[in-house]
Amino acid sequence: MINDEALHQIQIQYKELLEQMQEIARTVARRRKVPSSRVRELHAYVAASHRNALCPCCELVPVVSDDAELLGEIDHWYHVSRGDAEETWPVCRKCNLRLTQPSFKATKGSHFQAYQFSLRTVMMLQDNQFNLFAYQEVA
């Protein structure tokens, strides 16, 4: 049997734990880096042009619409505070939820790296085009 005093102590400890968890949640939320519209556009373009518009994680669910709108969500691969293009990828809602499970995420590292390879290819091409235009303006 739990007496009233023991129950009261448990209630106090529970309340303290709850307050600590709420403070941690607030801290994480403050540090969350929402990917910029430029990053979202880049992911939409890479998924459409190199991934058949499908979620690069499951390769089943479309993440880009016919008019190049991002349908899926952006997963922060490393940490919610890291939201650059090289640290995120566009995935479907189901994958984004499952990626919070370490056992599932462990099986998707090669998928993330393959997507990042496509992203780097696109970024290099864009840099080259920019340099080409810059050269033409000078010439």
What is the binding site for Zn ion (CB under 5 A)? Answer: 55, 57-58, 61, 92, 95
Q: Smallest gap, in angstroms, from Cβ of residue 58 to Zn ion? A: 3
**Residue nearer to Zn ion on the CB measure, 92 or 119:** 92
Q: Whose Cβ is closer to Zn ion: residue 1's or residue 102's?
A: 102
Least distance in angstroms from the C-beta of 133 to Zn ion: 36
Type of residue found at 91:
V
Supply the minimum distance, in Å, between the C-beta of residue 63 and Zn ion: 7
| Nearer CB in complex with Zn ion: 2/102 | 102
- With contact defined as beta carbons under 8 Å apart, do 90 and 64 qualify? yes
CB of 101 to Zn ion, least distance (A): 14
Chain-centroid distance of CA 105 in Å reads: 12
For Zn ion, give the closer residue by CB, 22 or 65: 65
* Spatial distance between the Cα atoms of 9 and 32, rounded to a whole number of angstroms: 35
